[in-house]
Chains A and B, each alone.
Chain A
Amino acid sequence: MISPNKHGIAALALLLLALAGCAHYPLNEPLAAYQPDQGYRFPAMASGKNTHSLFVCLAFSGGGTRAASLAYGVMEKLRATKIVWKGVEKSLLDEVDCISSVSGGSFTAAYYGLYGDRLFSDFRPDFLERNIQGELTAKALNPLNWLRLASPNFSRIDLAAEHYDEVLFGGKTFGDLPPGSPFIMLNATNLANGDGFEFTQDQFDFLGSDVSRYPVARAVAASSAFPVLLSPLSLKNYPSPKDYRPPKDITNAHTDFYDNRRRYQWARNRASYLTQSERPYVHLMDGGLADNIGLRAIENAYLRTSGFIRKRLNEGEIEKFLIIVVNARTQDQEALSRSESPPGLLTIAYKTATISLDNFSFETIEFMKELQTARKQTQTMLSACQQKLDTCPGQPPLPKLAKSIEPFVVEVNFEALADPSRRQYFLGLPTTFALPREDIGALIDVGQELLDADPVYKAVADSLRPPSP
Protein backbone atom coordinates (compact mmCIF):
# COMPACT_ATOMS: atom_id res chain seq x y z
CA MET A 1 0.00 0.00 0.00
CA ILE A 2 1.26 3.48 -0.90
CA SER A 3 1.40 5.92 2.01
CA PRO A 4 -0.33 9.36 1.72
CA ASN A 5 3.16 10.91 1.85
CA LYS A 6 4.20 8.92 -1.20
CA HIS A 7 0.94 9.91 -2.91
CA GLY A 8 1.84 13.53 -2.30
CA ILE A 9 5.34 13.15 -3.70
CA ALA A 10 4.01 11.33 -6.76
CA ALA A 11 1.39 14.01 -7.32
CA LEU A 12 3.99 16.75 -6.94
CA ALA A 13 6.31 14.95 -9.36
CA LEU A 14 3.47 14.65 -11.89
CA LEU A 15 2.59 18.32 -11.45
CA LEU A 16 6.21 19.35 -11.96
CA LEU A 17 6.51 17.16 -15.05
CA ALA A 18 3.31 18.69 -16.43
CA LEU A 19 4.64 22.17 -15.72
CA ALA A 20 7.93 21.27 -17.42
CA GLY A 21 6.02 20.06 -20.44
CA CYS A 22 4.17 23.38 -20.58
CA ALA A 23 7.34 25.45 -21.03
CA HIS A 24 7.59 26.52 -24.64
CA TYR A 25 9.70 29.07 -26.46
CA PRO A 26 7.73 32.11 -27.73
CA LEU A 27 6.55 31.38 -31.25
CA ASN A 28 7.01 33.81 -34.09
CA GLU A 29 3.66 35.14 -35.33
CA PRO A 30 2.09 34.30 -38.70
CA LEU A 31 1.85 37.01 -41.35
CA ALA A 32 -1.76 38.16 -41.78
CA ALA A 33 -1.28 39.48 -45.32
CA TYR A 34 1.62 39.89 -47.71
CA GLN A 35 2.51 43.57 -48.03
CA PRO A 36 5.74 44.01 -50.00
CA ASP A 37 5.99 47.70 -49.06
CA GLN A 38 5.32 47.20 -45.35
CA GLY A 39 7.18 45.63 -42.46
CA TYR A 40 10.80 45.76 -41.41
CA ARG A 41 12.53 46.35 -44.76
CA PHE A 42 15.03 48.89 -45.97
CA PRO A 43 13.10 52.19 -46.06
CA ALA A 44 12.03 53.46 -49.47
CA MET A 45 12.83 57.05 -48.54
CA ALA A 46 15.71 58.52 -46.59
CA SER A 47 14.66 60.37 -43.46
CA GLY A 48 16.06 62.74 -40.87
CA LYS A 49 19.67 63.77 -41.40
CA ASN A 50 20.39 60.66 -43.47
CA THR A 51 20.60 60.85 -47.26
CA HIS A 52 20.89 57.89 -49.59
CA SER A 53 23.37 59.75 -51.80
CA LEU A 54 26.09 59.15 -49.20
CA PHE A 55 25.45 55.49 -48.53
CA VAL A 56 27.21 53.95 -45.54
CA CYS A 57 26.97 50.33 -44.45
CA LEU A 58 28.67 48.77 -41.44
CA ALA A 59 29.42 45.07 -40.92
CA PHE A 60 30.05 43.94 -37.32
CA SER A 61 31.76 40.58 -36.90
CA GLY A 62 31.32 37.98 -34.21
CA GLY A 63 33.65 37.54 -31.24
CA GLY A 64 31.61 38.01 -28.03
CA THR A 65 32.25 41.12 -25.93
CA ARG A 66 35.51 41.67 -27.83
CA ALA A 67 33.55 42.19 -31.06
CA ALA A 68 30.81 44.25 -29.37
CA SER A 69 33.43 46.57 -27.81
CA LEU A 70 35.39 47.01 -31.03
CA ALA A 71 32.17 47.85 -32.89
CA TYR A 72 31.25 50.32 -30.13
CA GLY A 73 34.64 52.02 -30.51
CA VAL A 74 34.06 52.39 -34.25
CA MET A 75 30.59 53.86 -33.59
CA GLU A 76 32.14 56.44 -31.24
CA LYS A 77 34.65 57.39 -33.93
CA LEU A 78 31.91 57.75 -36.57
CA ARG A 79 29.98 60.00 -34.20
CA ALA A 80 33.08 62.14 -33.66
CA THR A 81 33.77 62.42 -37.41
CA LYS A 82 32.15 65.66 -38.53
CA ILE A 83 31.23 65.99 -42.19
CA VAL A 84 29.42 68.26 -44.59
CA TRP A 85 27.23 66.54 -47.17
CA LYS A 86 24.91 68.40 -49.52
CA GLY A 87 25.53 71.54 -47.51
CA VAL A 88 24.47 70.05 -44.17
CA GLU A 89 26.91 69.62 -41.29
CA LYS A 90 26.49 66.37 -39.37
CA SER A 91 28.43 63.38 -38.11
CA LEU A 92 29.32 60.45 -40.34
CA LEU A 93 27.23 58.29 -37.98
CA ASP A 94 24.14 60.27 -39.09
CA GLU A 95 24.73 58.93 -42.59
CA VAL A 96 24.86 55.20 -41.67
CA ASP A 97 22.17 53.46 -43.73
CA CYS A 98 22.58 49.84 -42.72
CA ILE A 99 24.31 47.69 -40.14
CA SER A 100 24.70 43.97 -40.75
CA SER A 101 25.97 42.00 -37.80
CA VAL A 102 26.82 38.62 -36.42
CA SER A 103 27.00 37.22 -32.90
CA GLY A 104 28.73 39.64 -30.47
CA GLY A 105 28.49 42.46 -33.02
CA SER A 106 24.69 42.03 -33.05
CA PHE A 107 24.39 43.39 -29.49
CA THR A 108 25.94 46.72 -30.53
CA ALA A 109 23.95 46.85 -33.78
CA ALA A 110 20.58 46.04 -32.19
CA TYR A 111 21.11 48.40 -29.26
CA TYR A 112 21.96 51.30 -31.57
CA GLY A 113 19.05 50.44 -33.87
CA LEU A 114 16.60 50.57 -30.95
CA TYR A 115 18.02 53.35 -28.80
CA GLY A 116 20.24 55.50 -31.07
CA ASP A 117 22.60 57.77 -29.14
CA ARG A 118 21.68 56.08 -25.85
CA LEU A 119 24.30 53.58 -26.98
CA PHE A 120 27.00 56.03 -25.91
CA SER A 121 25.71 56.51 -22.37
CA ASP A 122 24.20 53.15 -21.44
CA PHE A 123 25.68 50.32 -23.49
CA ARG A 124 28.98 50.10 -21.60
CA PRO A 125 27.42 49.57 -18.15
CA ASP A 126 24.36 47.70 -19.49
CA PHE A 127 26.27 45.18 -21.55
CA LEU A 128 29.97 45.55 -22.27
CA GLU A 129 31.09 45.78 -18.64
CA ARG A 130 28.70 43.12 -17.33
CA ASN A 131 29.59 39.51 -16.78
CA ILE A 132 26.86 38.30 -19.12
CA GLN A 133 28.44 34.88 -19.31
CA GLY A 134 28.27 34.50 -15.51
CA GLU A 135 24.69 35.75 -15.45
CA LEU A 136 23.67 33.20 -18.11
CA THR A 137 25.37 30.41 -16.17
CA ALA A 138 23.60 31.48 -12.95
CA LYS A 139 20.26 31.38 -14.78
CA ALA A 140 20.95 27.89 -16.09
CA LEU A 141 21.97 26.68 -12.61
CA ASN A 142 18.92 28.19 -10.89
CA PRO A 143 16.67 25.24 -9.86
CA LEU A 144 13.60 27.34 -10.72
CA ASN A 145 14.66 27.15 -14.37
CA TRP A 146 15.47 23.43 -14.37
CA LEU A 147 11.84 22.49 -14.84
CA ARG A 148 11.49 24.73 -17.85
CA LEU A 149 14.78 23.46 -19.25
CA ALA A 150 13.47 19.91 -18.90
CA SER A 151 10.86 20.70 -21.54
CA PRO A 152 11.80 19.64 -25.09
CA ASN A 153 10.51 23.02 -26.26
CA PHE A 154 12.49 25.30 -23.97
CA SER A 155 16.25 25.44 -23.82
CA ARG A 156 19.27 27.48 -22.81
CA ILE A 157 18.93 29.85 -25.78
CA ASP A 158 15.42 30.78 -24.59
CA LEU A 159 16.78 31.58 -21.13
CA ALA A 160 19.50 33.68 -22.76
CA ALA A 161 16.94 35.58 -24.85
CA GLU A 162 14.86 36.28 -21.71
CA HIS A 163 17.98 37.62 -20.01
CA TYR A 164 18.89 39.88 -22.95
CA ASP A 165 15.34 41.24 -22.85
CA GLU A 166 15.64 41.95 -19.10
CA VAL A 167 19.01 43.70 -19.21
CA LEU A 168 19.09 45.27 -22.67
CA PHE A 169 16.12 45.18 -24.99
CA GLY A 170 13.07 45.61 -22.69
CA GLY A 171 10.77 43.36 -24.72
CA LYS A 172 11.10 45.52 -27.84
CA THR A 173 10.24 43.95 -31.17
CA PHE A 174 11.37 44.74 -34.71
CA GLY A 175 8.25 46.86 -35.04
CA ASP A 176 9.70 49.13 -32.32
CA LEU A 177 12.85 49.93 -34.32
CA PRO A 178 12.33 53.66 -34.95
CA PRO A 179 12.03 54.92 -38.53
CA GLY A 180 15.08 56.98 -39.42
CA SER A 181 17.51 54.67 -37.62
CA PRO A 182 19.82 52.54 -39.78
CA PHE A 183 18.42 49.32 -41.21
CA ILE A 184 19.67 46.58 -38.86
CA MET A 185 20.29 43.12 -40.31
CA LEU A 186 20.89 40.63 -37.50
CA ASN A 187 22.29 37.44 -39.01
CA ALA A 188 21.98 33.86 -37.79
CA THR A 189 22.65 30.52 -39.51
CA ASN A 190 20.04 27.97 -40.56
CA LEU A 191 21.33 24.67 -39.21
CA ALA A 192 19.55 22.68 -41.94
CA ASN A 193 21.29 24.20 -44.95
CA GLY A 194 24.11 26.25 -43.42
CA ASP A 195 22.80 29.38 -45.09
CA GLY A 196 22.67 32.82 -43.51
CA PHE A 197 19.31 33.90 -42.04
CA GLU A 198 18.48 37.61 -41.68
CA PHE A 199 15.89 38.91 -39.25
CA THR A 200 14.17 41.13 -41.81
CA GLN A 201 10.69 41.02 -43.30
CA ASP A 202 12.16 40.05 -46.70
CA GLN A 203 13.43 36.85 -45.04
CA PHE A 204 10.35 36.34 -42.83
CA ASP A 205 8.09 36.55 -45.91
CA PHE A 206 9.42 33.10 -46.85
CA LEU A 207 8.31 31.82 -43.43
CA GLY A 208 4.85 33.38 -43.75
CA SER A 209 5.74 35.21 -40.54
CA ASP A 210 5.67 38.78 -39.22
CA VAL A 211 9.08 39.97 -37.99
CA SER A 212 7.63 43.25 -36.65
CA ARG A 213 6.12 41.31 -33.74
CA TYR A 214 9.27 39.28 -33.07
CA PRO A 215 11.46 40.24 -30.08
CA VAL A 216 14.81 41.78 -30.99
CA ALA A 217 16.36 39.94 -28.02
CA ARG A 218 15.54 36.57 -29.57
CA ALA A 219 17.10 37.58 -32.88
CA VAL A 220 20.26 38.69 -31.07
CA ALA A 221 20.24 35.41 -29.12
CA ALA A 222 20.00 33.39 -32.35
CA SER A 223 22.74 35.49 -33.95
CA SER A 224 25.05 34.76 -31.00
CA ALA A 225 24.11 31.13 -30.20
CA PHE A 226 27.62 29.73 -30.17
CA PRO A 227 27.48 25.97 -30.86
CA VAL A 228 27.44 23.66 -27.82
CA LEU A 229 27.54 26.54 -25.29
CA LEU A 230 24.04 27.57 -26.36
CA SER A 231 21.27 25.58 -28.01
CA PRO A 232 19.62 26.45 -31.35
CA LEU A 233 16.72 28.92 -31.48
CA SER A 234 13.63 27.68 -33.28
CA LEU A 235 11.09 29.40 -35.52
CA LYS A 236 7.84 28.11 -36.97
CA ASN A 237 7.58 28.06 -40.75
CA TYR A 238 3.97 28.99 -41.60
CA PRO A 239 2.18 28.55 -44.92
CA SER A 240 2.53 31.71 -47.02
CA PRO A 241 -0.40 34.16 -47.16
CA LYS A 242 -2.63 33.50 -50.19
CA ASP A 243 -1.47 36.55 -52.13
CA TYR A 244 2.24 35.89 -51.57
CA ARG A 245 4.49 35.36 -54.55
CA PRO A 246 8.25 34.99 -54.20
CA PRO A 247 10.47 37.75 -55.60
CA LYS A 248 11.08 37.44 -59.33
CA ASP A 249 14.85 37.18 -58.95
CA ILE A 250 14.32 34.07 -56.82
CA THR A 251 12.21 32.35 -59.48
CA ASN A 252 14.51 33.47 -62.32
CA ALA A 253 17.64 32.29 -60.50
CA HIS A 254 16.46 28.69 -60.57
CA THR A 255 17.77 28.48 -64.15
CA ASP A 256 21.18 29.98 -63.27
CA PHE A 257 23.01 26.80 -62.32
CA TYR A 258 25.57 27.28 -65.10
CA ASP A 259 25.53 31.07 -65.41
CA ASN A 260 25.68 32.17 -61.78
CA ARG A 261 26.02 29.49 -59.13
CA ARG A 262 26.05 32.00 -56.26
CA ARG A 263 22.65 33.42 -57.31
CA TYR A 264 21.30 29.93 -57.97
CA GLN A 265 22.29 28.67 -54.51
CA TRP A 266 20.98 31.82 -52.79
CA ALA A 267 17.61 31.38 -54.52
CA ARG A 268 17.44 27.67 -53.73
CA ASN A 269 18.12 28.26 -50.05
CA ARG A 270 15.51 31.01 -49.84
CA ALA A 271 12.90 29.05 -51.75
CA SER A 272 13.42 25.98 -49.55
CA TYR A 273 11.39 27.71 -46.81
CA LEU A 274 8.35 27.66 -49.10
CA THR A 275 7.96 23.90 -48.69
CA GLN A 276 6.39 24.35 -45.26
CA SER A 277 4.95 20.86 -45.08
CA GLU A 278 8.46 19.39 -45.38
CA ARG A 279 10.13 22.05 -43.22
CA PRO A 280 7.62 23.24 -40.61
CA TYR A 281 10.41 24.50 -38.30
CA VAL A 282 13.65 26.41 -38.72
CA HIS A 283 16.47 25.97 -36.21
CA LEU A 284 19.00 28.78 -36.01
CA MET A 285 22.46 29.10 -34.52
CA ASP A 286 25.28 31.64 -34.38
CA GLY A 287 25.43 33.75 -37.55
CA GLY A 288 29.19 33.23 -37.56
CA LEU A 289 28.71 29.68 -38.83
CA ALA A 290 27.59 31.05 -42.21
CA ASP A 291 29.54 34.33 -42.23
CA ASN A 292 31.53 35.57 -39.25
CA ILE A 293 31.85 39.07 -40.68
CA GLY A 294 28.23 39.99 -41.35
CA LEU A 295 29.16 41.10 -44.86
CA ARG A 296 27.14 38.51 -46.79
CA ALA A 297 23.83 40.31 -46.24
CA ILE A 298 25.38 43.52 -47.63
CA GLU A 299 26.88 41.58 -50.53
CA ASN A 300 23.43 40.14 -51.34
CA ALA A 301 21.88 43.63 -51.21
CA TYR A 302 24.63 44.82 -53.58
CA LEU A 303 24.30 41.98 -56.11
CA ARG A 304 20.62 41.00 -56.29
CA THR A 305 18.11 42.94 -58.39
CA SER A 306 15.79 42.96 -55.35
CA GLY A 307 18.70 44.14 -53.16
CA PHE A 308 18.24 47.58 -51.62
CA ILE A 309 21.76 48.66 -52.62
CA ARG A 310 21.64 47.40 -56.23
CA LYS A 311 18.33 49.16 -56.88
CA ARG A 312 19.69 52.46 -55.56
CA LEU A 313 22.91 52.15 -57.56
CA ASN A 314 21.01 51.50 -60.79
CA GLU A 315 18.54 54.28 -60.02
CA GLY A 316 21.43 56.73 -59.59
CA GLU A 317 20.60 57.55 -55.96
CA ILE A 318 24.05 56.74 -54.57
CA GLU A 319 27.10 58.98 -55.11
CA LYS A 320 29.51 57.80 -52.43
CA PHE A 321 29.31 54.25 -51.10
CA LEU A 322 31.28 53.39 -47.98
CA ILE A 323 31.42 49.95 -46.35
CA ILE A 324 33.20 49.63 -43.00
CA VAL A 325 33.92 46.07 -41.88
CA VAL A 326 34.67 45.76 -38.17
CA ASN A 327 36.49 42.48 -37.92
CA ALA A 328 37.30 41.36 -34.37
CA ARG A 329 38.99 38.21 -35.59
CA THR A 330 41.71 36.80 -33.36
CA GLN A 331 44.54 34.44 -34.15
CA ASP A 332 45.95 32.68 -31.15
CA GLN A 333 48.51 30.77 -33.22
CA GLU A 334 51.40 31.42 -30.90
CA ALA A 335 50.00 29.52 -27.93
CA LEU A 336 49.19 26.53 -30.12
CA SER A 337 52.58 26.49 -31.75
CA ARG A 338 54.51 26.79 -28.47
CA SER A 339 53.30 23.47 -27.11
CA GLU A 340 55.24 20.28 -27.85
CA SER A 341 52.14 18.13 -27.31
CA PRO A 342 49.39 18.18 -29.92
CA PRO A 343 46.28 20.16 -28.85
CA GLY A 344 43.46 18.45 -26.95
CA LEU A 345 40.08 17.43 -28.30
CA LEU A 346 38.30 20.66 -27.28
CA THR A 347 40.94 22.85 -28.93
CA ILE A 348 40.80 20.74 -32.08
CA ALA A 349 36.99 20.96 -32.14
CA TYR A 350 37.12 24.76 -31.70
CA LYS A 351 39.83 25.18 -34.34
CA THR A 352 38.03 22.90 -36.79
CA ALA A 353 34.88 24.98 -36.40
CA THR A 354 36.57 28.37 -36.67
CA ILE A 355 39.50 27.99 -39.12
CA SER A 356 37.24 27.53 -42.13
CA LEU A 357 35.06 30.42 -40.90
CA ASP A 358 38.07 32.71 -40.72
CA ASN A 359 39.24 31.74 -44.21
CA PHE A 360 35.71 32.21 -45.56
CA SER A 361 35.45 35.62 -43.86
CA PHE A 362 38.71 36.73 -45.47
CA GLU A 363 37.38 35.72 -48.90
CA THR A 364 34.07 37.54 -48.31
CA ILE A 365 35.85 40.82 -47.58
CA GLU A 366 38.16 40.42 -50.58
CA PHE A 367 35.19 39.63 -52.85
CA MET A 368 33.41 42.82 -51.76
CA LYS A 369 36.58 44.83 -52.39
CA GLU A 370 36.89 43.26 -55.86
CA LEU A 371 33.29 44.17 -56.68
CA GLN A 372 33.95 47.77 -55.74
CA THR A 373 37.23 47.84 -57.69
CA ALA A 374 35.48 46.38 -60.75
CA ARG A 375 32.87 49.16 -60.56
CA LYS A 376 35.60 51.82 -60.43
CA GLN A 377 37.43 50.21 -63.39
CA THR A 378 34.23 50.15 -65.44
CA GLN A 379 33.62 53.84 -64.76
CA THR A 380 37.24 54.73 -65.63
CA MET A 381 37.12 52.71 -68.85
CA LEU A 382 33.84 54.28 -69.97
CA SER A 383 35.16 57.74 -69.28
CA ALA A 384 38.44 57.08 -71.13
CA CYS A 385 36.62 55.60 -74.15
CA GLN A 386 34.25 58.56 -74.26
CA GLN A 387 37.20 60.97 -74.25
CA LYS A 388 38.69 59.11 -77.25
CA LEU A 389 35.33 59.11 -79.02
CA ASP A 390 34.99 62.85 -78.46
CA THR A 391 37.95 63.33 -80.81
CA CYS A 392 35.94 61.73 -83.65
CA PRO A 393 33.25 64.20 -84.71
CA GLY A 394 29.78 62.82 -85.39
CA GLN A 395 30.09 59.74 -83.17
CA PRO A 396 27.12 59.14 -80.85
CA PRO A 397 28.06 59.18 -77.17
CA LEU A 398 28.51 55.91 -75.28
CA PRO A 399 25.69 54.90 -72.96
CA LYS A 400 26.39 55.86 -69.35
CA LEU A 401 25.76 54.27 -65.98
CA ALA A 402 23.02 56.03 -64.01
CA LYS A 403 25.71 57.68 -61.91
CA SER A 404 29.46 57.36 -61.39
CA ILE A 405 29.96 56.43 -57.77
CA GLU A 406 32.92 56.62 -55.42
CA PRO A 407 33.09 53.22 -53.71
CA PHE A 408 35.18 52.53 -50.60
CA VAL A 409 35.73 49.45 -48.43
CA VAL A 410 37.45 49.87 -45.06
CA GLU A 411 38.38 47.00 -42.75
CA VAL A 412 39.09 47.51 -39.06
CA ASN A 413 41.29 44.58 -38.07
CA PHE A 414 43.80 44.04 -35.24
CA GLU A 415 46.30 42.82 -37.85
CA ALA A 416 46.73 46.44 -38.98
CA LEU A 417 48.44 47.38 -35.70
CA ALA A 418 52.12 48.07 -36.35
CA ASP A 419 53.33 47.36 -32.80
CA PRO A 420 53.79 43.54 -32.55
CA SER A 421 53.15 43.36 -28.80
CA ARG A 422 49.91 45.38 -29.03
CA ARG A 423 48.82 43.36 -32.06
CA GLN A 424 49.51 40.14 -30.18
CA TYR A 425 47.58 41.37 -27.14
CA PHE A 426 44.41 42.04 -29.16
CA LEU A 427 44.77 38.92 -31.32
CA GLY A 428 45.00 36.85 -28.13
CA LEU A 429 41.81 38.16 -26.45
CA PRO A 430 39.28 35.38 -25.85
CA THR A 431 35.77 35.04 -27.27
CA THR A 432 33.58 35.43 -24.18
CA PHE A 433 30.74 37.55 -22.80
CA ALA A 434 32.84 38.60 -19.79
CA LEU A 435 35.96 40.69 -20.31
CA PRO A 436 37.86 42.79 -17.75
CA ARG A 437 37.16 46.54 -17.93
CA GLU A 438 40.72 47.36 -18.99
CA ASP A 439 40.37 45.04 -22.01
CA ILE A 440 37.05 46.65 -22.94
CA GLY A 441 38.54 50.14 -22.68
CA ALA A 442 41.51 49.08 -24.80
CA LEU A 443 39.20 47.56 -27.44
CA ILE A 444 37.08 50.72 -27.66
CA ASP A 445 40.19 52.86 -28.01
CA VAL A 446 41.79 50.61 -30.62
CA GLY A 447 38.56 50.55 -32.67
CA GLN A 448 38.76 54.33 -32.96
CA GLU A 449 42.52 54.26 -33.57
CA LEU A 450 42.35 51.61 -36.31
CA LEU A 451 39.54 53.41 -38.15
CA ASP A 452 41.35 56.72 -37.88
CA ALA A 453 44.58 55.22 -39.21
CA ASP A 454 43.01 53.50 -42.23
CA PRO A 455 44.14 55.35 -45.39
CA VAL A 456 40.83 54.80 -47.20
CA TYR A 457 38.83 56.09 -44.22
CA LYS A 458 41.16 59.08 -43.94
CA ALA A 459 40.58 59.91 -47.59
CA VAL A 460 36.78 59.66 -47.19
CA ALA A 461 36.77 61.72 -43.98
CA ASP A 462 39.06 64.35 -45.53
CA SER A 463 36.84 64.66 -48.61
CA LEU A 464 33.81 65.28 -46.38
CA ARG A 465 35.46 67.42 -43.71
CA PRO A 466 33.72 70.72 -42.92
CA PRO A 467 35.72 73.79 -43.92
CA SER A 468 37.84 75.30 -41.14
CA PRO A 469 36.22 78.34 -39.53
Chain B
Amino acid sequence: MEYLLVHFPRSRRVLVDDEFNGRTDELIELEAGTHTVALGPPYNFTPTFRTVRLFDTSALTPREIDFDLAE
Protein backbone atom coordinates (compact mmCIF):
# COMPACT_ATOMS: atom_id res chain seq x y z
CA MET B 1 0.00 0.00 0.00
CA GLU B 2 0.98 3.66 -0.39
CA TYR B 3 0.78 6.52 2.12
CA LEU B 4 -0.44 10.11 1.75
CA LEU B 5 -0.18 12.97 4.24
CA VAL B 6 -2.27 16.07 3.61
CA HIS B 7 -1.47 19.37 5.33
CA PHE B 8 -3.82 22.28 5.91
CA PRO B 9 -3.69 24.95 8.64
CA ARG B 10 -6.85 23.49 10.17
CA SER B 11 -7.98 19.92 10.89
CA ARG B 12 -10.21 18.85 8.03
CA ARG B 13 -11.61 15.69 6.46
CA VAL B 14 -9.85 14.62 3.27
CA LEU B 15 -11.59 13.55 0.07
CA VAL B 16 -9.69 11.08 -2.06
CA ASP B 17 -11.27 10.34 -5.43
CA ASP B 18 -14.45 12.08 -4.19
CA GLU B 19 -14.74 9.83 -1.13
CA PHE B 20 -13.96 10.72 2.48
CA ASN B 21 -10.79 8.83 3.31
CA GLY B 22 -9.29 10.22 6.49
CA ARG B 23 -8.19 13.58 7.90
CA THR B 24 -5.43 16.12 7.44
CA ASP B 25 -2.13 15.38 9.24
CA GLU B 26 -3.00 11.67 9.51
CA LEU B 27 -1.50 8.92 7.37
CA ILE B 28 -3.95 7.90 4.66
CA GLU B 29 -3.38 4.38 3.33
CA LEU B 30 -4.19 4.04 -0.37
CA GLU B 31 -3.55 1.92 -3.42
CA ALA B 32 -0.74 2.88 -5.76
CA GLY B 33 -1.76 5.02 -8.71
CA THR B 34 -3.35 8.33 -9.52
CA HIS B 35 -5.69 9.97 -7.00
CA THR B 36 -7.60 13.23 -6.81
CA VAL B 37 -7.30 14.86 -3.39
CA ALA B 38 -9.47 17.63 -1.95
CA LEU B 39 -10.72 18.70 1.47
CA GLY B 40 -14.13 18.52 3.05
CA PRO B 41 -16.25 21.62 3.74
CA PRO B 42 -16.05 24.55 4.34
CA TYR B 43 -14.57 25.25 0.94
CA ASN B 44 -12.03 27.83 2.07
CA PHE B 45 -8.96 26.09 0.68
CA THR B 46 -6.86 26.39 -2.40
CA PRO B 47 -6.26 24.81 -4.84
CA THR B 48 -9.69 23.18 -5.17
CA PHE B 49 -8.04 19.79 -5.69
CA ARG B 50 -4.67 18.20 -6.30
CA THR B 51 -3.90 15.20 -8.46
CA VAL B 52 -1.19 12.93 -7.04
CA ARG B 53 0.53 9.84 -8.36
CA LEU B 54 1.32 7.54 -5.44
CA PHE B 55 4.16 5.06 -5.74
CA ASP B 56 7.25 4.08 -3.73
CA THR B 57 6.01 5.68 -0.52
CA SER B 58 6.10 4.19 2.96
CA ALA B 59 4.46 5.03 6.26
CA LEU B 60 7.70 6.79 7.26
CA THR B 61 8.13 8.55 3.91
CA PRO B 62 4.58 9.36 2.76
CA ARG B 63 3.77 11.61 -0.18
CA GLU B 64 3.02 14.99 1.39
CA ILE B 65 0.81 17.66 -0.15
CA ASP B 66 -0.40 21.03 1.10
CA PHE B 67 -3.56 23.03 0.80
CA ASP B 68 -3.65 26.72 1.75
CA LEU B 69 -6.36 28.77 3.36
CA ALA B 70 -8.20 30.73 0.69
CA GLU B 71 -8.52 34.46 1.37
Min CB distance A398 to B, Å, is 7
Partner of A305, one of B21, B26, B62: B21
Report if A400-B32 is in contact (Cβ < 8 Å); known contacts: A259-B53, A305-B21, A306-B19.
no
User: Once the chains bind, are B27 and A400 in contact (CB under 8 Å)?
Assistant: yes
State whether the Cβ of B60 lies closer than 8 Å to any Cβ in chain A. yes
Min CB distance A108 to B, Å, is 31
Nearest residue (CB) in A for B59 is: A378
User: Once the chains bind, are B20 and A253 in contact (CB under 8 Å)?
Assistant: no
Partner of B35, one of A252, A375, A378: A252
- Contacts of A253 on B, CB cut-off 8 Å? 33-34
Per-residue CB contact flags for chain B residues 10-31 toward chain A (1 = under 8 Å, else 0) read 0000001111111101111111
Partner of B33, one of A260, A306, A311, A314: A260
- Contacts of A378 on B, CB cut-off 8 Å? 1, 29, 59
User: Once the chains bind, are B32 and A310 in contact (CB under 8 Å)?
Assistant: no
- Contacts of A264 on B, CB cut-off 8 Å? 33
Per-residue CB contact flags for chain B residues 47-59 toward chain A (1 = under 8 Å, else 0) read 0000101110001
State whether the Cβ of B44 lies closer than 8 Å to any Cβ in chain A. no
- Contacts of B62 on A, CB cut-off 8 Å? 399
State whether the Cβ of B39 lies closer than 8 Å to any Cβ in chain A. no
User: Once the chains bind, are B17 and A263 in contact (CB under 8 Å)?
Assistant: no
- Contacts of A33 on B, CB cut-off 8 Å? none
Bound CA–CA A313/B19 (angstroms): 13
Within 8 A of B (CB), among A202-254: 247-249, 252-253
State whether the Cβ of A459 lies closer than 8 Å to any Cβ in chain B. no
Partner of A252, one of B17, B21, B59, B60: B17
Nearest residue (CB) in B for A382 is: B59
Per-residue CB contact flags for chain A residues 365-393 toward chain B (1 = under 8 Å, else 0) read 00000010011001001100100000000
User: Once the chains bind, are B29 and A381 in contact (CB under 8 Å)?
Assistant: no
State whether the Cβ of A17 lies closer than 8 Å to any Cβ in chain B. no
Nearest residue (CB) in B for A250 is: B17
User: Once the chains bind, are B29 and A313 in contact (CB under 8 Å)?
Assistant: yes
- Contacts of B55 on A, CB cut-off 8 Å? 259
Min CB distance A378 to B, Å, is 5
Among B25, B31, B53, B62, the most chain A Cβ lie within 10 Å of the Cβ of B31
- Contacts of B36 on A, CB cut-off 8 Å? 248, 252
Tell me what chain B mostly uses at the interface: helix, strand, loop, or mixed: strand
Report if A249-B29 is in contact (Cβ < 8 Å); known contacts: A315-B22, A402-B23.
no
Partner of A314, one of B29, B59, B60: B29
- Contacts of B53 on A, CB cut-off 8 Å? 259
Report if A311-B34 is in contact (Cβ < 8 Å); known contacts: A385-B60, A399-B27.
no
Partner of A401, one of B19, B27, B35: B27
State whether the Cβ of A416 lies closer than 8 Å to any Cβ in chain B. no
Nearest residue (CB) in B for A304 is: B31
Min CB distance B12 to A, Å, is 13
- Contacts of B22 on A, CB cut-off 8 Å? 314-316, 402
User: Once the chains bind, are B17 and A249 in contact (CB under 8 Å)?
Assistant: yes
User: Once the chains bind, are A252 and B29 in contact (CB under 8 Å)?
Assistant: no
Report if A398-B60 is in contact (Cβ < 8 Å); known contacts: A247-B18, A259-B55, A315-B21.
yes
Partner of B32, one of A259, A382, A385: A259
Report if A305-B60 is in contact (Cβ < 8 Å); known contacts: A256-B34, A374-B1, A401-B29.
no
State whether the Cβ of A303 lies closer than 8 Å to any Cβ in chain B. yes
Partner of B25, one of A249, A310, A314, A399: A399
State whether the Cβ of A255 lies closer than 8 Å to any Cβ in chain B. yes
- Contacts of A306 on B, CB cut-off 8 Å? 17-19
Min CB distance A173 to B, Å, is 27
Bound CA–CA A401/B22 (angstroms): 9
- Contacts of A305 on B, CB cut-off 8 Å? 16-17, 19, 21, 30-31, 35
Residues of B within 8 A of A (CB): 1, 5, 16-23, 25-36, 51, 53-55, 59-60, 62
Closest CB pairs A-B (n = 7): A256-B33, A248-B17, A314-B22, A260-B33, A249-B17, A314-B21, A305-B17
Given contacts A385-B60, A399-B25, A402-B28, 17 further A-B contacts (CB under 8 A): A247-B17, A248-B18, A248-B19, A255-B33, A256-B33, A259-B53, A260-B31, A260-B32, A263-B32, A304-B31, A305-B19, A305-B21, A314-B16, A314-B21, A314-B29, A375-B29, A401-B26
Ordered by A's residue number, 30 sampled pairs between the chains whose C-beta atoms are within 8 Å are A248-B18, A249-B17, A249-B35, A252-B17, A252-B51, A253-B34, A259-B54, A259-B55, A260-B33, A303-B31, A305-B19, A305-B35, A306-B17, A306-B18, A310-B29, A311-B20, A314-B16, A314-B20, A314-B21, A371-B1, A374-B1, A378-B29, A381-B60, A399-B26, A399-B27, A399-B62, A401-B26, A401-B27, A402-B26, A402-B28
Residues of A within 8 A of B (CB): 247-249, 252-253, 255-256, 259-260, 263-264, 303-306, 310-311, 313-316, 371, 374-375, 378, 381-382, 385, 398-402
